[in-house]
Amino acid sequence: MVALLTGSLLPSSSTAQNTALNARIAKLSAAQEAKVIACRRDLHEHPELGNEEKRTAGIVAEQLKKLGLEVQTGVARTGVVGILRGGKPGPVVALRADMDGLPVTETAPVPFASKARTTYNGQEVGVMHACGHDTHVAMLLSTAEVLSAVKKDLPGTVKFIFQPAEEGSLPGVVGGAKLMVQEGVLDNPKVDAIFGLHINAQTEVGTLKYRPEGTMAAADVFTIKVKGKSAHGAYPWLAVDPVVTAAQIVTGLQTIISRQSELTQDAAVITVGMIHGGVRNNIIPEQVELTGTIRTLDKDMQQKIWAAVRRTATNIAESAGAGAEVDIVNYAPITYNDPRLTEQMAPTLRRVAGPAHVTVQKAVTGAEDFAYFQEKVPGLFVFVGGMPKGKNPADTAPHHTPNFFIDDSGLTLGVQTLATLAADYLGAKK
């Protein structure tokens, strides 16, 4: 009875060790504030598109080497992997950050705004970290520094994965997380679990959000080539007009969501993002090309929508005397947080941010190729707040827009979260 009471009233030695380690991690993370913000602002001012992150990769590799980590470069073209071996044997946990920017011209009024320019899909464009990947890199680099300072107390290994091309590669080019997995990034040493964070411009600083199971949608890219017959714009009856047909297809695609999808089951989206066709105002072209995205949170619904897109485009085109070629490619699977791992690590999230600042959120129709890692090993993907306190989310610029803004005072919470998730997972598996 004494032994039972002692065990119930006093913390075990491992619990005491974890508590002490967590306290050290919290202190070390707070001390990273100036460094993580400076790093983030430098990366923000110098963004690079997917598979072109050479400057970013160079900074990452240099800092990891200074910490004494084993460093691999050129992974999936421009990716970097750092391996930190703890002072005790144990499992392997991976932490991931994505590095690429977007073809967006920045308008945010910050002194470190990007002025970078490049050519993308044959067009001159601005380049911007319009989704916060600069914050992800900075947070993971600071996490590596924090965990390096306590490595003798870590029972296992931490693998830091700095991933290129999360926003996608050029058409026909495999990249990002999918290529990293194909090249064996989760092996040698074999990863047991993986954690990732994403900054969110509509979530208040100091807040964490997560969801068990499906948390972000599968993303598919579709292309529809509408083939008609060219004629002078003054004599449309001599043509089979692919422009008008394409417009009808765009409208028809929306009825797949509004009238053919059981939205009480899960959300779904079809968006046409590009329309290309014609070279002159008074010439009806032979072909128009539509390109867009499909987002689904359920595999069965995904397959039904694929079939409906093909059916709708083909039949509308045929009704106009035209033809339609439909191509659909999966870009990313559903971002699926392993339920068991999520339940295991939820207390860590509440302890780091405080219970009042951790929310179980609804699924979102954004997508993440972090899902490819989760297909191979249990994973947990968490959102960290980047919105200034007191702001209305409806008044903040969304991700992927020119005036996207992140309050980087919240980055140390991301550092502490990543470091504590890794330490707690390794400690629980001793």
| pLDDT tens by residue, the chain, 430 residues | 344 343 433 334 455 668 999 999 999 999 999 999 999 999 999 999 999 999 999 999 999 999 999 999 999 999 999 999 999 999 999 999 999 999 999 999 999 999 999 999 888 999 999 999 999 999 999 999 999 999 999 999 999 999 999 998 776 778 999 999 999 999 999 999 999 999 999 999 999 999 999 999 999 999 999 999 999 999 999 999 999 999 999 999 999 999 999 999 999 999 999 999 999 999 999 999 999 999 999 999 999 999 999 999 999 999 999 999 999 999 999 999 999 999 999 999 999 999 999 999 999 999 999 999 999 999 999 999 999 999 999 999 999 999 999 999 999 999 999 999 999 999 986 5
The answer on 303 and 155 residing in a single domain is no
Predicted pLDDT of residue 2: 40
Domain boundary among 332, 351, 375: 332
What does the H/E/C string look like for 165-180? CCCCCCCCCCCHHHHH
Q: How far apart are CA 191 and CA 222, in angstroms?
A: 33
**Are the C-beta atoms of residues 132 and 53 closer than 8 Å to each other?**
no
Supply the range of the domain harboring residue 97.
13-216+334-428
Query: Six-digit token pair at 401?
Result: 């827009």
Task: Give the pairing type, strands 323-332 and 79-85.
Answer: unpaired
The answer on 270 and 224 residing in a single domain is yes
Residues forming beta bridges with residue 295, ordered by sequence position: 219, 269
- What is the secondary structure of 283-305 as a DSSP string? EE-SEEEEEEEEEESSHHHHHHH
CATH number of the domain encompassing residue 68: 3.40.630.10
The answer on 262 and 227 residing in a single domain is yes
Residues forming beta bridges with residue 358, ordered by sequence position: 208
First vs last C-alpha separation in the chain: 27
Domain boundary among 306, 332, 358: 332
Residue 156, C-beta contacts closer than 8 angstroms, at least 6 positions apart: 86, 88, 89, 90, 91, 92, 93, 426, 429
The answer on 157 and 46 residing in a single domain is yes
Backbone angles phi and psi of 288, in degrees to 5: -130, 140
The answer on 156 and 232 residing in a single domain is no
Select from 182, 215, 179 the least CA-distant residue to 196.
215
- pTM reported for the whole predicted model: 0.91
Amino acid of residue 89: P
Containing H/E element for 141?
A: helix 133-149
The answer on 255 and 374 residing in a single domain is no
The answer on 161 and 147 residing in a single domain is yes
Predicted pLDDT of residue 13: 45
Domain boundary among 308, 332, 356: 332
CATH number of the domain encompassing residue 289: 3.30.70.360
The answer on 231 and 181 residing in a single domain is no
Select from 427, 332, 421 the least CA-distant residue to 378.
421
Does residue 1 sit within a domain?
no
Rg, the chain, Cα only:
24
Predicted pLDDT of residue 178: 96
The answer on 312 and 240 residing in a single domain is yes
Containing H/E element for 4?
A: helix 2-9
* Number of structural domains found in the chain: 2
**How many CB atoms are closer than 10 A to CB 297?**
23
Does residue 5 sit within a domain?
no
Does residue 178 sit within a domain?
yes
